[in-house]
Structures are given as C-alpha cells and as structure tokens.
C-alpha cells in the first residue's frame, strides 16, 4: 500500500484542509483546472512531474501540446503487450488491483466502509444480477499509464454517466468519504462471449474533470483502446456475473489483508471458467 503524501493527509485530517477540500471538489474547480491543463502554458509542469514520479518517457510517444496531452500520453505498443489467448482475462489498465467476491450486496469493504453495487451503479435491478459474482478494482495513481483497453472481444451498450463529487481515490480518503458513490463515474455493459455480460465502471478523482471514453454503442476487440482519464488518480471497477471468471485466490486473500497487486495493462489476471 502506498504511503500517503503530507498534502493528502492535510486535506483529509485537518479542519482547514477539509475546508479547502470542500472548495477543491466543486465541479467548476475541476473544470477550470482541466481547461488550464489543456493549454500550451501547462507544458511547464511536465518536466518536474516526470522527474518526481519517475516516468520513463522513452516508452511513450512524446509530441505533447499541453500537460493533459502528456498525462494521457500513448505508450509504445511493445511496452504493453496484450495476452492474446481468448480465455485469458487481461487487465484493462495499469494500476493497483484488489479483488472481491460479491456477497450479500457488499462489494468493497475498504477502510471500514462498505460499498454496494447498487450505490455504485444507482441501478438496483442491474446490480442484483451480479450477486455472487466477482468485483475487481484497479486504482490508478498519477504515475500510471492512464489509457485503458477492452479486456476481450464483444459489443458494448451506451455509456451511463453519473455526476458526483470528485474526491481522491487514495485509500486515506475512504476513512471519511464513501468515495465510489460520491465520485463522478461512467459505466457501460459489455456483452462478451468469453465472460458474459460484464459491467465496467470508470471512476473520476480529484481534479479529473473528464472521463474520456472513445465509443458509445460499439463492437470492440481485445486490446483496443476504450478510453483515457485526464489529470489525477482514477479507478476502474469490473463486475462479473457468477461462474464466468476465475481469479487467482491470492488476489482475494491479499485484498482481505489490505494488500494490492501492481498490474499493467494487457497482463493476465484471470481466465474464463469455461476454459
């Protein structure tokens, strides 16, 4: 688990910090910040950001016109190979992986809080279909690659957007705020032959003014880009129906201990039950 910075602790554990946080998490602030980060003037922050977060720029295409161009940079294909076997479940993004079994409607028991699927989706009927299934959570930090791909072949429905407050998705935030139900998020149902109907949810975070999905209703292929996040840490949640995917038991065991696994986009993290 990553050590939290002084700034994050100040915002969430002091009175003054919480006053500032209330202002920072207003949507118009994220819009203003996002607009500035789309300008050429924001390029001045790239060099120090790369140094601080140890980002290997040689792995990326580097024609940046703004900070957001840099943040949503595209990686060279050889650095994110996709496990091609049809029955392999690959991670749709870089990030820290946690795994949960969906039991009694409780999905995400993180830092003494519990998040139900229905509150995540704001759709109780849809959520009920995933009882006894599997939930995977990928937490992205600022140093991660912020583009994400489709983890198999299939057809997607339209994107459903849910507005919300933009709190950080760092674990410390979960001590005081139900992050996954307050953050702006977007989800879609992915109809796949390999894993059945999977719900993918992209969750925005502090200063993420936009979740940029590239397609609405669409036929997709494994490894094809699905979208990108703009500046900030972010989260992807995957919901699988019962008896559709097999995830290594160590992921569930480590999650129960408060541990996360670092994974990269395209890396195998499970496989189809029918394999």
- Which residues are annotated as catalytic? 94, 234
Check residue 235 and report its DSSP letter: E
Distance CA 150, CA 190 (A): 9
Distance CA 183, CA 24 (A): 13
DSSP 3-state of 200: strand
CB 23 within 8 A of CB 33: no
Distance CA 227, CA 56 (A): 21
Distance CA 251, CA 129 (A): 23
- CA distances 230 to 60, 110, 263, 274, Å, are 16, 25, 20, 37
Strand boundaries in the chain, DSSP class E? 88-90, 95-101, 134-140, 147-149, 154-156, 160-162, 185-192, 196-203, 211-213, 218-220, 225-229, 234-240, 245-246, 261-263, 268-272
Specify burial of residue 234 (Cβ count, 10 A radius: 0-12, 13-18, 19+).
Answer: buried
Sequence-ordered list of residues with C-beta below 8 angstroms from that of 263, at least 6 positions apart, any chain: 91, 94, 95, 96, 97, 138, 269
Check residue 172 and report its DSSP letter: G
* 30 half-sphere exposure, CB direction, 13 A CA radius: 24
């Amino acid at each position: 688990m990553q050590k939290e910075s002084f700034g994050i602790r100040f915002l969430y554990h002091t009175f003054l910090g919480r006053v500032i946080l209330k202002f920072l998490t207003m949507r118009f602030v994220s819009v203003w910040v996002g607009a500035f980060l789309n300008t050429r003037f924001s390029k001045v922050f790239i060099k120090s950001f790369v140094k601080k977060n140890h980002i290997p720029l040689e792995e990326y295409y580097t024609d940046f016109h703004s900070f957001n161009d840099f943040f949503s940079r595209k990686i060279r294909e050889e650095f994110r190979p996709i496990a091609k076997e049809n029955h392999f479940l690959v991670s749709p993004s870089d990030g820290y992986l946690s795994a949960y079994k969906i039991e009694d409607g409780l999905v995400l028991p993180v830092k003494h809080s519990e998040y139900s699927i229905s509150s995540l989706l704001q759709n109780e009927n849809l959520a009920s279909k995933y009882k006894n299934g599997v939930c995977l959570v990928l937490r992205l930090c600022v140093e991660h690659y912020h583009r994400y791909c489709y983890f198999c072949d299939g057809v997607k429905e339209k994107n459903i957007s849910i507005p919300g407050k933009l709190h950080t998705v760092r674990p410390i935030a979960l001590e005081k705020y139900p992050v996954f139900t307050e953050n702006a998020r977007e989800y879609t149902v992915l109809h796949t032959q390999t894993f059945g109907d999977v719900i993918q949810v992209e969750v925005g975070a502090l200063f993420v003014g936009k979740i940029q999905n590239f397609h609405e209703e669409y036929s997709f292929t494994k490894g094809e880009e699905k979208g990108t996040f703009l500046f900030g840490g972010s989260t992807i949640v995957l919901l699988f129906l019962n008896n559709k995917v097999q995830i290594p038991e160590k992921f569930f065991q480590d999650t129960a201990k408060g541990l996360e696994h670092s994974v990269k986009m395209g890396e195998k993290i499970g496989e189809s039950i029918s394999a």
